Structure 1
Amino acid sequence: MSSTTRRRFQHPAALIGAAVLAASITACGSSDTTSATSPATSAPAPASASAAAGVLTVRDPWVKAADKGMTAAFATIVNDGDTDVTITGVSTDVSRAEIHEMAMADGKMTMRQKQGGVVVAARSQVALEPGGDHLMLMDLTRPVRAGDQLDVTLTFADGRTQTFTTVAKPFTGAQESYAPGHGASPAS
């Protein structure tokens, strides 16, 4: 092999090696155990997005399996950067989607679209979790079965986007219902 050819392949190999190492380290950071309030593991979770691949790091992404109607996606979103990042939108290829929150209204807990999005402060993280902020998938165009992998795209206030892959899992944990008429206010 000529020295020109060797130089041409050294850099991509280093990048691939670094990406594999980063994904391995990130994926090993979770110590999930299955319990009544954790999603049951039915398939291995996809590797988390690495900071080098996008604006934020997405850890332990998953979506609640559902046959029809609505469901929700969850993850821990990490901002290793020096500036705050605001997530203003979300999209998937299986439904329309919004950022939702659980909040008190008229003395009861309701689910509603989160105005202004989710701010992930510099050098911090935000949990998207059952009973709290989450990514709401509405009007599913097909069932989301345990083990299915879905691509979810986040849109940021500055117009950038980032896509990550999440896995569907059965979940009965906090007993919230992601169906119309079950504590969810209509989408704005």
Structure 2
Amino acid sequence: MAKGLLAVLTLATLTASCAKIEAPAASDAWVRLAAVPGRPAAGYFTLHGGKADTKLIGVSVAGVPRVELHLSRMTAGDMMTMDATPSVDLPARATLPFEPGGRHAMLFDVPAGLTPGKTTTMTFRFSDGETAVAEAKVVSAGASGPE
């Protein structure tokens, strides 16, 4: 009986330790600087959903005092506009791109030391308490993405 119980407990422990915890993640991060110094830069990345639905509730960038989530959209008059949003839904196991012309992060008061060719750390906060980190390449204004 004791050997059987020990075998069950050992199997349960091994199974639990082998189970992969799937948390939200971020990849392909990059920051495009503004054409005019002092104007906001834009952050782009791809989010990958974990094992459960969650929401992206914030992004921080090393050295940048304020980052907002934004969504670009076309108005009825065929003009592009942006709206700030407090969060973005991230369904389980979904891939959600943040790219020019769509969802993105606006970086305000970017420090002068953040220049093209450098990298910076982006940290993503989710409503389920998880965080994800990605290194972002910094590119100049007008660049279509990192090379």
The gaps in structure 1 that reach 5 residues or longer are 1-50, 175-188
| RMSD, aligned α-carbons | 2.4
1:23-38 superposed matches below 5 A: none
Question: Within 1, Cα distance between the matches of 2:27 and 2:59?
Answer: 16
Instruction: State whether structure 2 residue 75 is matched by structure 1 residue 75.
Output: no
Letter in 1 for 2:92: A
Alpha-carbon deviation of 1:109?
Answer: 2.1
Distance 1:112 1:94 in 2: 24
Percentage of matched positions with identical amino acids = 30
**Unpaired stretches in structure 2, ≥5 consecutive residues:** 1-19
SS in 1 for 2:117: coil
Match of 1:135 among 75, 97, 105: 105
Deviation at 1:103, TM superposition (A): 2.4
Distance 2:132 2:51 in 1: 18
Q: How many residues align?
A: 121
Partner of 1:184: none
Distance in 1, Cα, partners of 2:121 & 2:112: 14
Q: Distance in 2 between matches of 1:118 and 1:133?
A: 9
Distance change (3 Å), C-alpha of 1:148 and 1:173: closer
Alignment-derived partner of residue 155 in structure 1 = 125
Q: Aligned partners of 1:63, 1:57: CA distance in 2, in Å?
A: 18
Give the AA of the match of 1:112.
Answer: D
Structure with higher RCO (Cα < 8 A, 6+ apart): 2
Superposition pairs for residues 10-159 of structure 1, below 5 Å?
55-66=23-34, 67-79=37-49, 81-95=50-64, 96-105=66-75, 107=77, 108-115=79-86, 117-159=87-129
Partner amino acid, structure 1, of 2:38: K
Contact 2:61 2:122 in 1 (8 A): yes
Q: Secondary structure at the match of 1:162?
A: strand
More strand by share: 2
